[in-house]
Structure 1
Amino acid sequence: MTGGATLVASLAAHKVDTVFGIPGTHNLEIYRHLASSKIRHVTPRHEQGAGYAADGYARTSGRPGVAVVTSGPGLLNIATAVAQAYSDSVPVLVVSPGAPLRHPHRGNGALHEMIDAQRALSGVVRDAYRVTSHAELTVTIAQIFAGFLAERPRPVHVEIPLDLLDEPAEVTIAGPLRVRRRSAEDWQILQAAAALNQAKRPGLLIGGGARGAAAQVLAVAERLQAGVLTTANGKGVISETHPLSVGAAVHLPAAMDWLAERDCVLAVGTEIAPSDFWAGPPQLRGELIRIDLDPAQLLVNARPTLPICADAASTLDDLLPVLKEAAAAGKPSAGAGVPLEVKAEARAEGERWTGWLDALAGALPKRALVLADNAMACYYGALGNLPVHEPGAFGFPTGFGTLGYALPAAIGAKTARPRRPVVALCGDGGFMFTCQELATAAAEGLSLPVVVFTNGGYGQIRAEMKAAGFEPIGVDLPVPDLIGLATALGGAAYAVSDPADLTRLVKASLEHPGPTVLVIEESSP
């Protein structure tokens, strides 16, 4: 088998069904074998779109996303999307060709030549590999997929030398490894239970690391009758219409106050990151029990009374039988400790968009998947005011904070879950970063509403400039003819001036065989 054949066979052995990528001169041997495989290939119009699509695929399916790019500019183009996946702990595998095994260290001016691709990507991935044999390639793929299962999932890059891609060799394909995540110690379970059973005002703080433990989080919350506050990546781990849901707007003062008033906080799979809390990590006055798969994360941003390095689902499964019922512990029931102030503050913060978001919610089934961009309508509006009902149903680029995420990520989500309703939310500034991916959605025939809130450029930065006391510069941008743009790229498009029209058009867009851009002027009702 050639190196290209070895890669494709290794991906197939690990049940990869979709690859996002752009063919190039140097990765032709990979594409030769993709063409004859059962793996679906989706061609975005830019490598950054391939990275975001792989991210959206992974977040909504629970399976690793895979992207193939060419060397040099193709690899660097995907780097921003990979860094976003790293920030949000999303399992993405990026494969690229690289300089031949015997390429001169200082280079010789070859096409797409880079000084050191492995070093260039190492700052935005968990691991960057340059393989040197067919056997190492198939073993490395197996190790990467095992790591996605057993460790904190973060993106990985594999570089395959050009000559290795083309050369044939005898090779045995390495299949999937059976792995288990770390389990909590018995004494940790008993100590955690003792603290929670004694607490009068317990609370749960849930992050993206608990996506695979939604049933367990709900069971623990209901046993304790404790409110559940989630981060952006944890949004939907508990349905946001459940009476114990505090919501996902952890940055709000009422949410910070609620956390500070808990005498015991059970934090599961969260960095407790400043990018979630905006003003810095919260002040936690009570005991903190922290469950995280990543041992390096346990002491970051908040020092726990009890750190537990283990899998969230198995740990909560072990914890549940030794927790007392809330009533038996002398605690009030029926949603005790859930502050209405948090949801009221979220409505007030997002007042500019809540009419539109309510209209959107009225159009979307509970099973809908929402992919959001770093737009004001998303982090001030949708984060706290658009309810979702299951983990992974709201994809938002926290941490690294990229623009242009929503549309290509929604393409990845719809590719992964074709029977699920999927919608993208963005602003006009971020939409222009990756608007070309409308052509990808059109080519794939994806039913995809893309809601664009327009405010004439970069509204958040405009507001920050004014707050800093100087006249805005570089942020006021004329809004292009988005209707014409969408039509030219193969989509449908409508200007929306009334929330009732948004409900109607979103419902219609979910049935249309292609993307539909719905343009909302924020000055509209």
Structure 2
Amino acid sequence: MSQRPLGAQISHMLKSRGVDVIFGIPGVHNQEMYRGIEEAGITHVLARHEQGAGFMADGYARASGKPGVAYIITGPGLCNIMTPLGQAYSDSVPVLAISSCLDETARRRGQLHQMLDQEAAGACVCEWSLEARDAESAYGLIDRALTEFATGRKRPRHIQVPIRALEGLADAPPAELPCLQTETRPVAAAERIVAALKASERPMFVFGGGAVEGAKDWKAVVEQAGAASFTTYAGRGVAAGHALDFGAYLARPESAGMIAKADLVIAVGTELSEVDLWRDELGHEGRFIRVDIDPEVLRAASGTELAFQADAAALAREILSVGGFEAEAGWREADVAAAKARWRAESDAERPGIVPICDALRDVLPGDTMFYSDMTQFAYTAKEVWPMDRPGHWHHPFGFGTLGYALPAAIGGAVARAGKPTLCIAGDYGFQYTIQELATAVELRLPLPILLWDNGKLKEIEDSMVRAQIAPKAVDQINPDFVALAKAYGAYAEKPESPEGVAQGVMTAFEADGPTLIHVTPAVSA
């Protein structure tokens, strides 16, 4: 068909650009976008709330490496997905939200789903939020978003299309754009970094999420250079198996002293933000080099001597190509191991009962398990003490720090990785933000274990109040019978009594024909 309603043409265009799955909820305002989904051969996942749809798209994008796409209605639909879009912005995740919008809002008030400025609302949490008033504009903005996802920092975009435009007949979208050859060889940056490594006796790398795609090459760089390394939480696994890797313990105060011992620190693909360090300064005293695809963050840290805007993976390959920086380690493996043992013990003491469960799980989980965790004490401990043997396999709402992320994001990840193990980790409070998405997991018959850490309160907030000498207030809550509630949704559920029982429950859940809630309390490790 040369002409279809624009809403249908959009689905056909997305399919031609490689989009296989769309997350969303239909409504009277965006129903035209649903006209072409089945005809285009796209799978639609029905969320129970637009917040869930956004997190599913986020989880799908992180697991697949492809953009996550969500169809959203006017007004409240856009408002409901703003939290997931904010999280995707913070964590550099390529999510494309396409919503309907009213045809006219300046003259007429009181319309269904009317907002004062929907486009501006989307712009608060996206790289950009723009209105496409006709087919040509819609096609152009979709291609712009997909091109920017492929060539720059992967942050969410929002496109809104007036209802009348969605309903109107439109010509077919243009043919897919030719494949972009975007990689350039960062020769000068590589040569400067190699020269710095040659002049260094105790080099150190700090890897963030931006280094994940080039992890194998960066590990080769640190090993050849005899360098030590730290990773941010998002960068865990980049230097997996490297004997001089301090792991994801940057937030430990003592890490600043370790970093101060380096005569050269190279930070790759990391903002070194508050949620990476939990202090104002990294701690470096020697030379400091930064590498990032985003120029905005290159000079954000004090003491930066050199800053290179470059794709991290391409730069690692170029450094190895230049070569000639092999060195004996100025760091002692025993010192690195001792520091990690101290920090693990500190983490265990701060939040008792979690480390034994992590250890039991690590003993049995398949190596390619992908994790999605929420803002919960279990995840705060696991992010430090659980060394990942591969990068890009633990996803968490790092920067924006929203509750309710884990379950819907894990659903999106499980959809992207059909047949591969996916594990959801949530706390008792945050789980209730998006618990309704359990129905989606049941509907899709996903073999998804959901480890629910239930300490009966907002324990992290209670601890923070106590440290601030504030009498704990509003941190205790009445929880439902989670096992019964999960079964009411049609899911499986169990309540193990030991760390080994938790591990066995997760392994059994991987083989089930639907999701399994595994209810875990601190008493399990008592």
TM value normalised by structure 1? 0.95
Residue of structure 1 equivalent to 2:10: 7
Point out 4+ residue stretches in structure 1 off by more than 4 angstroms: 332-337
SS in 1 for 2:288: strand
Within-5 A mapping of 1:125-524: 125-181=126-182, 183=184, 185-239=186-240, 241-326=241-326, 329-331=327-329, 338-351=336-349, 352=352, 353-379=354-380, 381-524=381-524
Amino acid at match of 1:238: A
Residue of structure 1 equivalent to 2:119: 118
Residue of structure 2 equivalent to 1:25: 28
Q: Note if contact 2:263-2:287 (Cα within 8 Å) is conserved in structure 1.
A: yes
Q: Note if contact 1:227-1:335 (Cα within 8 Å) is conserved in structure 2.
A: no
Distance 1:43 1:119 in 2: 27
Question: Do residues 70 (structure 1) and 52 (structure 2) align?
Answer: no
What do the CA deviations read for 1:453-505 (whole angstroms, capped 9, x no partner)? 11112111111112222221111012220001110111111112201111211
Deviation at 1:334, TM superposition (A): 8.4
Q: 1:133 to 1:99 in 2, by over 3 A?
A: same
For structure 2, the 5+ residue unaligned runs are none
What do the CA deviations read for 1:201-227 (whole angstroms, capped 9, x no partner)? 111111111121112111111211222
Q: Note if contact 1:220-1:316 (Cα within 8 Å) is conserved in structure 2.
A: yes
Q: 1:150 to 1:192 in 2, by over 3 A?
A: same
What do the CA deviations read for 1:369-404 (whole angstroms, capped 9, x no partner)? 01111111111x110122322222000111111011
Amino acid at match of 2:180: V
SS in 2 for 1:246: coil
SS in 1 for 2:495: strand
Q: Note if contact 1:66-1:93 (Cα within 8 Å) is conserved in structure 2.
A: yes
SS in 1 for 2:271: coil
Q: 1:508 to 1:123 in 2, by over 3 A?
A: same
Deviation at 1:330, TM superposition (A): 4.6
Q: Note if contact 2:223-2:242 (Cα within 8 Å) is conserved in structure 1.
A: no
SS in 2 for 1:216: helix
SS in 2 for 1:152: coil
Distance 1:263 1:25 in 2: 62
Q: 1:336 to 1:106 in 2, by over 3 A?
A: farther
Q: 1:105 to 1:190 in 2, by over 3 A?
A: same
Deviation at 1:185, TM superposition (A): 4.6
Distance 2:192 2:235 in 1: 25
Amino acid at match of 2:85: V
SS in 2 for 1:324: coil
Amino acid at match of 2:524: S
Q: Note if contact 1:227-1:336 (Cα within 8 Å) is conserved in structure 2.
A: no
Distance 1:330 1:450 in 2: 45
Deviation at 1:53, TM superposition (A): 0.9
Amino acid at match of 1:42: V
What do the CA deviations read for 1:388-432 (whole angstroms, capped 9, x no partner)? 222220001111110111111110111111122110111111111
Q: Note if contact 1:145-1:176 (Cα within 8 Å) is conserved in structure 2.
A: no
Q: 1:33 to 1:172 in 2, by over 3 A?
A: closer
Q: Percent identity?
A: 36
SS in 2 for 1:203: strand
Q: 1:446 to 1:107 in 2, by over 3 A?
A: same
What do the CA deviations read for 1:321-375 (whole angstroms, capped 9, x no partner)? 334353xx45458858745313431343134210011111123111100111111
Q: 1:200 to 1:388 in 2, by over 3 A?
A: same
Distance 2:139 2:218 in 1: 37
SS in 1 for 2:31: helix
Q: Note if contact 1:457-1:475 (Cα within 8 Å) is conserved in structure 2.
A: yes
Distance 1:504 1:32 in 2: 44
Q: 1:277 to 1:169 in 2, by over 3 A?
A: same
Residue of structure 2 equivalent to 1:49: 52
Q: Number of residues paired by the alignment?
A: 519
Amino acid at match of 2:44: H
SS in 2 for 1:25: coil
Q: Note if contact 2:454-2:520 (Cα within 8 Å) is conserved in structure 1.
A: yes
Deviation at 1:193, TM superposition (A): 0.9
Distance 2:473 2:11 in 1: 49
Q: 1:330 to 1:507 in 2, by over 3 A?
A: closer
Q: 1:301 to 1:523 in 2, by over 3 A?
A: farther
For structure 1, the 5+ residue unaligned runs are none
Q: Note if contact 1:205-1:228 (Cα within 8 Å) is conserved in structure 2.
A: yes
Q: 1:228 to 1:174 in 2, by over 3 A?
A: farther
Amino acid at match of 1:350: D
SS in 1 for 2:523: coil
Amino acid at match of 1:74: G
Deviation at 1:263, TM superposition (A): 1.1
Deviation at 1:238, TM superposition (A): 3.0
Q: 1:362 to 1:235 in 2, by over 3 A?
A: same
Q: 1:276 to 1:332 in 2, by over 3 A?
A: closer
Distance 1:339 1:224 in 2: 19
Amino acid at match of 2:523: S
Distance 1:519 1:79 in 2: 30
SS in 2 for 1:94: strand
Q: 1:143 to 1:523 in 2, by over 3 A?
A: same
Amino acid at match of 1:348: E
Distance 1:385 1:488 in 2: 35
Q: 1:455 to 1:104 in 2, by over 3 A?
A: closer
Residue of structure 2 equivalent to 1:90: 93
What do the CA deviations read for 1:28-62 (whole angstroms, capped 9, x no partner)? 11111112221111111111111111111111211
Distance 1:416 1:347 in 2: 36
Q: 1:219 to 1:16 in 2, by over 3 A?
A: same
Q: Note if contact 1:371-1:409 (Cα within 8 Å) is conserved in structure 2.
A: yes
Amino acid at match of 2:426: C
TM value normalised by structure 2? 0.95
Distance 1:348 1:283 in 2: 20
Q: Note if contact 2:232-2:248 (Cα within 8 Å) is conserved in structure 1.
A: yes
Amino acid at match of 1:430: G
Q: 1:79 aligns with which of 82, 88, 94?
A: 82
